Amino acid sequence: MMSSVQNMVGVIELADADILLDRHGRLTLEDFQKAFCQRLEDWLRPRDEMHYLGDNRVCVTLRGVGSSGELALATAKLESIFKNPHYQFGRPVQLGFRAGFASVEGDRQSEETLRQANLALREARANSSNYQVYTPHAETRADNQRKLLQSLEEALARGEIQLYYQPKVQTMYRSLAGAEALMRWRKPDGELVPAGDFIPVAEEHEIIRPLTWWAIKTAVARLARWPEDLTIAVNIAPQLLLDDQILAVVEDALAIHCVSPQRLVLEVTERIMVGSPTTMLAQLARLRLIGVQVSLDDFGTGYSSLSYFRDLPVDEIKIDCCFVRNMLECGKDEAIVKAVIDLAHNFSLKVVAEGVETEAVAERLKELGCDLIQGYFFDRPMPPDAFEASYGIHPPGLSDTQALRDHALM
């Protein structure tokens, strides 16, 4: 009996179309779309098929490609086609693709195959890889994410989300400069879920908006009860800088609690450079015009180039803990820490080193002139009551759940 031929169905998109749109404008994007489709046509063999799905995406059927090895060869060829830049008005622009594939027997392609390929594409985006093949594991992961998001929505509504506070300390005098607010999820059974277990999923979905607006309001309410010289930093996902509401949320919270804007620090990561940098930088500049401070988090791990650094509307740089952790044992790490401190100071920016775990590292950072330090050496993130008790802050009692209730009335 003849076994039927194995085909691979793929959904392929023009990678980072939003960046291209931001940098080059909509009319030019159409030109990129044409070039993208042309490259795919050059890649496909006569027996393959392709049709446009809209939204910078096409669907292809690769006939007779059944194994992962055959697919790897095919995608390697596509990668080499995309290596050549596209020339626009004589200037080279690098185009890329991102793809999800699902294998199917013969011509049994269906809505289900397309759904699987789309799921694989989502995985490719999440892993920043050029392509991904559908596996049942992806299904489980997607299912787990759906469940997590649903319970997160309920958790926010039920007041199970809390802000913990970790001190930021002046390196020179070891005095308290402020705190970073870090999210925790206290489940009804008492389990405390760390930010790393739910924030990355939340950041890929709409739920990050209400979570962040809640965090800003809660942190500002807390600031109102702390001494005037202390700041609180709130983490902001890059895409929220594209959200016009952020200005109103920040301004309203500060006005309602009569808190000076410079006491609120917004921590953004270098990922702001990947999305729509022009728009995001403009939004940061607007926020700074209100008077709030902006801190560039995880510095050194991302994608920012020095040319962006020059015009960056920020007040502070946080050197990522991966350079700080072993800086005494690794000369190269220490050289990076030193270079970042010098660079930041030349631009009149403050520098924070995060992930300081030992006295020796704290001392070395002091010698290098680092302004602020944060890490387990001083304290781990703590609930607000414990933080206030540790640092001798005595505000009238206010729980974050109470703050949430107050803000629901805003």
Which positions lie near Ca ion, rule CB under 5 A?
Answer: 235, 267, 297-298
Residue with the two structure tokens 């920016």: 349
Q: Measured from the CB of residue 208, what is the shortest distance to ligand C2E in angstroms? A: 6
A 10 A CB-CB count for 306 gives: 7
Q: Which does 85 bind (CB under 5 to 8 A by kind): Ca ion, ligand C2E, none?
A: none
Nearer to Ca ion, 13 or 297 (CB): 297
Q: Measured from the CB of residue 240, what is the shortest distance to ligand C2E in angstroms? A: 8
Q: Measured from the CB of residue 265, what is the shortest distance to Ca ion in angstroms? A: 10
Residue 399's closest CA among 383, 376, 380? 383
Q: Which does 190 bind (CB under 5 to 8 A by kind): ligand C2E, Ca ion, none?
A: none
Nearer to Ca ion, 87 or 376 (CB): 376
Nearer to Ca ion, 298 or 406 (CB): 298
Q: Which does 10 bind (CB under 5 to 8 A by kind): ligand C2E, Ca ion, none?
A: none
Q: Measured from the CB of residue 284, what is the shortest distance to Ca ion in angstroms? A: 15
Contact 207, 145 (CB under 8 A): no
Contact 233, 267 (CB under 8 A): yes
**CA of 271: how far to CAs of 187, 362, 404, in Å?**
30, 28, 29
How far is it, in rounded angstroms, from Cα 168 to Cα 325?
A: 16
Nearer to Ca ion, 266 or 404 (CB): 266
Q: Which does 388 bind (CB under 5 to 8 A by kind): ligand C2E, Ca ion, none?
A: none
What are the residues binding ligand C2E (CB under 6 A)?
166, 182-183, 194-196, 199, 212, 215, 235, 237, 267, 297-298, 321, 354-357, 374-376, 381
How far is it, in rounded angstroms, from Cα 52 to Cα 20?
A: 19
Nearer to ligand C2E, 298 or 406 (CB): 298
Contacts of 219 (CB under 8 A, 6+ apart): 163, 181, 232, 234, 264
Nearer to ligand C2E, 60 or 249 (CB): 249
Nearer to Ca ion, 256 or 274 (CB): 274
Q: Which does 196 bind (CB under 5 to 8 A by kind): Ca ion, ligand C2E, none?
A: ligand C2E
Q: Which does 334 bind (CB under 5 to 8 A by kind): ligand C2E, Ca ion, none?
A: none
Q: Measured from the CB of residue 65, what is the shortest distance to ligand C2E in angstroms? A: 39
> What is the SS3 assignment for 158?
coil
In the sheet with 57-63, reading across from the earlier edge strand, the strands are 49-54, 57-63, 6-14, 97-105, 131-133
Residue 74's closest CA among 15, 117, 138, 130? 130
Q: Measured from the CB of residue 319, what is the shortest distance to Ca ion in angstroms? A: 9
Residue 220's closest CA among 250, 245, 182? 250
